[in-house]
Structure 1
Amino acid sequence: MKLARFLLSREGFISVLCYTVTAVFSFLSFSPANLPFFVWFAPFGLFVIEKRNRGEWKKLIYHGFGFAILFYLVSFHWIYHMTTVFGGFEWYLAVPIFLGSAILLNFKFPVFLVLFSFLAIKVRRFFPLIVSFAVLVSEFLTPQVFPWYFGNIVAENHILAQNAEYTSAYGLSGFLFFVSYFLFYIRKPKRTMRLISKFSSIMKKNKIFAKQMFTGLGALVFVLLVFFGNGFYLYNKWNHMKPIAERDVLIVQPNAPLEFRDGRNPAEEIRNLMTRIDRMVEQELKNKPVDLVVLPESGVPFFTTHDSEITRAMRIYWHQFESLMAIITLRHGANLYFNELDADIPEEKRGSRISRNDIRTYNSSVLMSPNGERKNSYQKVFLLIFGEYMPFEWMYALSGQTGQFAPGSKLDLIPYYEARKTPSTVAKDLHWEDTFGLSPNSVREHYRTNQVEEKQIGSFLPLICYEVIISEFVRKFEGDPDFIVNVTNDKWYGNSVESYQHHTLGRMRAIEFRKWIVRSTNSGTSVFTDHLGRNIDNEFTPIESTATIRKKVAVIPGEMTFYRLYGNLLSYLFMGIVGIVFFFYVKRNS
């Protein structure tokens, strides 16, 4: 009742308007709308609320929750779809989960408002610096499983985006709020004219005021020059960097089914899927070979090519799956990277009696060499809550759809091999229908004359789904990859903006690592991104459809960038130094 009265009041209307400005302007600035003009005004809603409620801590916290919920509704509305479809929750459970996650995963808003207001009262100056400090602290210290990072919106500008090589998206967030507060301060034309008039008259009389004005304007000019200047330098430096090699890569987007609760026949759907993958690959590669074929996450769901006692006992090993993967590699002489379900038991349990509860299942991706041999695999480490695991054991009973996956433990690059350069020598090529009567070993024997000497020519960095958006996680991989491969299944989110947002959040890794990204999705949007964060030919595959896309991926000379070496060091230094300065101001003014 109290909330309803507030929302119907003038104060409530202004508050909701502020929430809306921040949420809608942020959304419009980001992919797929891509209207970056709005990003500079998106924080205005936060600034207005803080100014109107300065020092009223309880109100600021409540307003922070208001920002969190509306921001979530506008920008991340697809999470509700994920909770019901991916998680399998009924609506009466999905709604509280959605609202709870909206507050928890956007706790940065109340933290920002309270910290900004506290420092505004205690420091009483350096307001652009205060907002930069406050937004960085709030983003670093609050949970963000689905990080938006305001800096990713700024990165829609290709020049400014290059600064991510040093600062990641966090530094761009601080830059955005610094500039935005200056714009907020001069937002009213009459006030601006009065300031100019007052400035010219006082300049002659008050040297202290003149010094402060010059300091403020000088700081703005300096920050703009640093970010735009450095961005321009890095853009030109890397734009003229010559690759040491190129790899032909084909992405196959099969639009595989997610589940069969709608009554479809699973066996028929899977057979159709395998036929579709076989034909799509052959159509693309019959006369135009490639080095690497990439299938997405869940491109062939529910099964594995890993033949072991555990996978056979769980009935997830499917010899026809392995046979088709071997046919594709041997028929076309290419590397094939695909996703599968995998399972094993802990090392300490081997050799002893085990139960079903001892078995660990993984979201895994595997490379098969041009000779049809199953090589290195990568098990997903950063699992997705409410889809691949539940935070509490008792919650699994609420959703029959949620998986119980174990996180992988290795962060190794995936080696790949030289493709076969000669045409196939067999009299008859094999296809999906042949797998009904041929084992994987029979397939390899059929193509024995096609086999070549295995020669490793490089490696790539494997990422599955949302792992690509966690910059701190990605830099844990060691070694110098030729490029990054991100396989994902965004079909759980329907025909929404999620797929574009997911990619935009992930493409920053291309700048941080100065490596190309191959993004392979089950149902769109698949795309190639270069080491400058540019989407090649701006070509995205359509959502909820089958498609193929191929490009030549440039192998950029190995160089450990600043971010790979030092991570968020610059952001930590900024927060540390500015925090110490603010501490003395707070102590002096208390």
Structure 2
Amino acid sequence: MPLATGLLALVLPERTDSPARSRDRRASRPSRLASVGPRSQGAGEASTLRVYLAAVLGGAVSASAWLVPGTGFSAVLGWITALLLVYTVRARRAYMPAFAAGLVGHVIGFYWVAGTVSAFGGFGPLTSALIFALFVALGAILFLVFALVHHQLPAAFDALALRSATAVVMAELLTIRIFPWHFGHTQIAFTPFVQIAGIGGAMAVSFLMFWLAEVSVRIVVFRERRRTFLVPVLLFALAIGYGVAMMRTFTAPQGLPQEVIVVQGNASLAEKRDIDSARKNLARIYELSCQAAHPGSLIVWPEGSVPAYIPAAIGQVGNPPVLPWIGDGSALLVGAYSFLPDHRRYNAAFAVYPDGTIPQPYFKQILIPFGESMPLSSYFPWLKGLNAKAGVFSAGTETRVFSYPMRRPDGTTSTLKVAPMICYEDTVPALAREASRKGAELLINITSDSWFGRTLAPHQHHLIAAFRAIENRRFLIRATNTGLSGVVDPLGRTIASIPPFAEGTATAQVTPLTYRSAYTNWIGDRPWWTLLVVGLVATIHAKGMRRVRLSCA
């Protein structure tokens, strides 16, 4: 990686010994990374500047990876980010540099949040800017926690170079992010490598990236040589071998194909808010569906396509005829709104079976704060007055799997099991995992990404969602109002798509799958919670032993 080597050369310290090896000499020598005052231009200040340079560069490179999402260049930038951040946190005073990296990365990589907050929440420029600043600061805490955990872990983690890998997954596991990204997401174009997400999720990719990055930094920068450094290299080789095996299995998975048609009407945000324009968009989506439909096909509409509240117990399309039905043997999954007899309102997904039967809808479980609900307004009603545009939706409480009775063109019948996710829910691994465990053969996301405007956010959203396909070995179908709509195969590759801000349909042959990956079946996030406990216990034990030694000295 010549580019990575060149960037590291910019921040190489003057020393060549590892902090792990020089631990015994720290008491007798001044820190090279501590500032020695504004008048001094000594080695300490120079080294501190190098650490800050590495940190800011790492944040910028991380952001750049998110500005070219889903590409091979993004994957390369992800590795460079890991190298720079590992170098940064190995400095003795890495907290502020790491936090600075997070600030830079979030300001550049997720610049669109400011505009989305304004459009979705209805806030003015000043309030939106303040919320964006809060988003950036909270997001940067991930980098700060990375540095904090890295420094607190005991020396036992150094033997296998596990300090950085452990710290990064602890940071990803513990920090709250409104846009739940992982460093491993940058590797989606590195298809053989990301298949380990089928074992340990996106954090497995982050873990192995930073494990190899620490080994590389300790070899290149600190001139360390240990046989144990071969362990992550061998595991990386095994990961690639596993990925190749998964590609052979799921490039053309066994099973009867199912035709899926994704419809994108390209209704702008202004049109969605205007009832007459929304109805015209509904008519256009229906027209596109009729043109593309075939007997036995499943047609997927975006979130909120039907601008009406439909009773949850509607039962049939003709009672009253407010949900679409083509009547040619095709089935639909439609985004609309619903309510229960107690007047609770929901953002919903309705299944329309080929015979016009409509089961109970799926209610969105994770609501977007300030847009679909006002946080804490049930306890403090006066908060609703602060944002009159916020919705009053209730949250659903369970994952639903629809069982479509399908008839193929050859006359054979089958039951197609489909689990919907609405909007942001496809970024939450637990929901897709639960749906797969409940028998879903296809995962479907219906969303309205028009809030993002003409930014890279729809592509970033699609990238994160694609990991749900890898983790659960399912085809993922995504229908959005303005794009990016598409179909993702069980390897995370987008096999059909409609570009953003275009009207049209995309048709794909997918295979309903019942295979349960290790991640779906039993692993989940258990390794990372276990690692958290091990790290915590090891740290407490090491600190306790240090106090005992000091008291005995």
Q: Does TM, scored on the shorter chain, surpass 0.5?
A: yes
Per the alignment, residue 390 of structure 2 pairs with 402
Per the alignment, residue 418 of structure 1 pairs with 406
Secondary structure (helix, strand or coil) at the match of 1:336 reads strand
- Partners in 1 of 2:312 and 2:508 — Cα distance? 33
Paired AA for residue 291 in structure 1? S
Q: Report deviation, 1:569.
A: 2.0
| Residues 184-223 of structure 1 aligned to structure 2 (within 5 Å) | 184-187=217-220, 213-223=225-235
- Partners in 1 of 2:276 and 2:430 — Cα distance? 42
| 1:458 equivalenced with 2:469 (yes/no) | no
Per the alignment, residue 284 of structure 2 pairs with 276
Secondary structure (helix, strand or coil) at the match of 1:540 reads strand
Per-residue CA shift, 1:510-566, capped at 9, x if unaligned?
A: 122111111111111111111122211xx4211122121011111224436443323
Q: Report deviation, 1:251.
A: 0.7
Secondary structure (helix, strand or coil) at the match of 1:550 reads strand
Paired AA for residue 133 in structure 1? T
Q: 2:158 aligns with which of 118, 125, 130?
A: 125
| 8 Å Cα contact 2:59-2:103 kept in structure 1 | no
Secondary structure (helix, strand or coil) at the match of 1:275 reads helix
| 1:298 equivalenced with 2:304 (yes/no) | yes
Per the alignment, residue 248 of structure 2 pairs with 236
- Partners in 2 of 1:77 and 1:542 — Cα distance? 21
- Partners in 2 of 1:569 and 1:167 — Cα distance? 9
- Partners in 2 of 1:42 and 1:560 — Cα distance? 29
| 8 Å Cα contact 2:59-2:104 kept in structure 1 | no
- Partners in 1 of 2:300 and 2:320 — Cα distance? 15
Q: Report deviation, 1:76.
A: 1.4
Per the alignment, residue 144 of structure 2 pairs with 110
- Partners in 1 of 2:171 and 2:289 — Cα distance? 47
| 1:43 equivalenced with 2:48 (yes/no) | no
Secondary structure (helix, strand or coil) at the match of 2:129 reads helix
Q: Report deviation, 1:149.
A: 0.8
Secondary structure (helix, strand or coil) at the match of 1:381 reads coil
Paired AA for residue 43 in structure 1? A
Secondary structure (helix, strand or coil) at the match of 1:86 reads helix
| Residues 10-409 of structure 1 aligned to structure 2 (within 5 Å) | 15=52, 18-28=55-65, 31-35=69-73, 36-52=75-91, 54=92, 56=93, 60-119=94-153, 125-126=158-159, 128-187=161-220, 213-239=225-251, 241-243=253-255, 245-259=256-270, 266-285=274-293, 288-301=294-307, 303-306=308-311, 323=321, 325-326=323-324, 328-330=325-327, 332-346=328-342, 359-393=343-377, 394-409=382-397
Secondary structure (helix, strand or coil) at the match of 1:391 reads coil
| Residues 436-447 of structure 1 aligned to structure 2 (within 5 Å) | none
- Partners in 2 of 1:105 and 1:139 — Cα distance? 10
- Partners in 1 of 2:54 and 2:190 — Cα distance? 27
- Partners in 2 of 1:235 and 1:31 — Cα distance? 21
| 1:483 equivalenced with 2:442 (yes/no) | yes
| 8 Å Cα contact 2:70-2:189 kept in structure 1 | no
Per-residue CA shift, 1:66-102, capped at 9, x if unaligned?
A: 2332221122111111100011110111111111122
Paired AA for residue 329 in structure 1? I
- Partners in 2 of 1:530 and 1:368 — Cα distance? 24
- Partners in 2 of 1:345 and 1:376 — Cα distance? 13
Taking a change above 3 Å as real, the CA distance of residues 250 and 322 of structure 1, as seen in their structure-2 partners, is farther
Q: Report deviation, 1:583.
A: 4.8
Q: 2:462 aligns with which of 492, 499, 503?
A: 503
Per the alignment, residue 541 of structure 1 pairs with 498
- Partners in 2 of 1:547 and 1:281 — Cα distance? 9
- Partners in 1 of 2:157 and 2:433 — Cα distance? 39
Q: Report deviation, 1:227.
A: 2.2
Q: Which runs of 5+ in 1 are unaligned?
A: 196-212, 312-318, 347-358, 423-451
Q: Report deviation, 1:467.
A: 0.9
| 8 Å Cα contact 1:106-1:144 kept in structure 2 | no
- Partners in 1 of 2:319 and 2:101 — Cα distance? 48
Taking a change above 3 Å as real, the CA distance of residues 79 and 321 of structure 1, as seen in their structure-2 partners, is farther
- Partners in 1 of 2:362 and 2:52 — Cα distance? 47
- Partners in 2 of 1:250 and 1:521 — Cα distance? 13
- Partners in 1 of 2:423 and 2:310 — Cα distance? 20
- Partners in 1 of 2:59 and 2:160 — Cα distance? 19
- Partners in 2 of 1:398 and 1:65 — Cα distance? 32
Q: Which runs of 5+ in 2 are unaligned?
A: 1-37, 39-44, 548-553
- Partners in 2 of 1:564 and 1:500 — Cα distance? 29
Paired AA for residue 341 in structure 1? Y
Q: Report deviation, 1:476.
A: 2.6
Taking a change above 3 Å as real, the CA distance of residues 119 and 581 of structure 1, as seen in their structure-2 partners, is closer
Per the alignment, residue 555 of structure 1 pairs with 512
- Partners in 2 of 1:386 and 1:12 — Cα distance? 40
- Partners in 2 of 1:173 and 1:491 — Cα distance? 30
Paired AA for residue 386 in structure 1? F
Q: Report deviation, 1:142.
A: 1.5
| 8 Å Cα contact 2:471-2:517 kept in structure 1 | no
| 1:573 equivalenced with 2:526 (yes/no) | no
| 8 Å Cα contact 1:128-1:177 kept in structure 2 | no
Q: Report deviation, 1:143.
A: 1.1
Per-residue CA shift, 1:276-334, capped at 9, x if unaligned?
A: 1232122223xx44521110112233x133388xx9xxxxxxx99963644x422x321
Taking a change above 3 Å as real, the CA distance of residues 144 and 369 of structure 1, as seen in their structure-2 partners, is same
Taking a change above 3 Å as real, the CA distance of residues 306 and 98 of structure 1, as seen in their structure-2 partners, is same
Q: Report deviation, 1:187.
A: 4.4
Q: Report deviation, 1:580.
A: 4.4
Taking a change above 3 Å as real, the CA distance of residues 128 and 270 of structure 1, as seen in their structure-2 partners, is same
Per-residue CA shift, 1:479-534, capped at 9, x if unaligned?
A: 22221111111110011111111111111111221111111111111111111222
Q: Report deviation, 1:111.
A: 1.1
- Partners in 2 of 1:584 and 1:412 — Cα distance? 45
| 8 Å Cα contact 1:297-1:338 kept in structure 2 | yes
Q: Report deviation, 1:381.
A: 0.4
Paired AA for residue 150 in structure 2? F
Q: Report deviation, 1:466.
A: 1.3
Per the alignment, residue 473 of structure 2 pairs with 514
Q: Report deviation, 1:419.
A: 4.4
Paired AA for residue 280 in structure 1? L
Q: How many residues align?
A: 494
- Partners in 1 of 2:120 and 2:64 — Cα distance? 24
Q: Report deviation, 1:361.
A: 1.4
Secondary structure (helix, strand or coil) at the match of 1:363 reads strand
- Partners in 2 of 1:260 and 1:292 — Cα distance? 26
- Partners in 2 of 1:329 and 1:215 — Cα distance? 65
Considering Cα pairs closer than 8 Å and 6+ residues apart, tell me whether 1 or 2 has the greater RCO. 1
Q: Report deviation, 1:247.
A: 1.0
- Partners in 2 of 1:471 and 1:86 — Cα distance? 24
